């Protein structure tokens, strides 16, 4: 059995559902494969795709520097 430290502490967790494009809680969350999170607030979950986009841009820039393809 998997134990999640945050959920055992009683803190509410939020997820961004990739299927429904909405914030979900543990009580109504879709399958793990279809969501991002957990996040500590609904606001953080709402910004999940922005964070993914920012991280991807950073990683792409690092990859370009590594391979010598900097613009």
pLDDT digits (tens, 9 = 90+) for 24-53: 999 999 999 999 999 999 999 999 999 999
59 by Cβ neighbours in 10 Å (0-12 / 13-18 / 19+) ranks as exposed
Flag whether pLDDT at 22 surpasses 90: yes
* 48 C-beta neighbours (distance < 10 Å), count: 19
Quick one: CA dihedral 30, 35, 41, 46, positive or negative? Answer: negative
Q: Tokens for 37, please give them.
A: 């999170």
Share of the chain above pLDDT 70, in %: 83
Report which of residues 9 and 50 the model is more confident about.
50
């Amino acid at each position: 059995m998997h134990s999640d430290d945050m959920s055992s502490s009683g803190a509410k967790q939020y997820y961004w559902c990739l299927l429904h494009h909405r914030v979900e809680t543990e009580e109504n969350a879709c399958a793990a494969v279809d969501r991002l999170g957990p996040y500590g607030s609904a606001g953080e979950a709402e910004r999940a795709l922005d964070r993914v986009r920012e991280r991807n841009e950073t990683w792409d820039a690092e990859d370009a520097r590594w391979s010598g393809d900097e613009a």
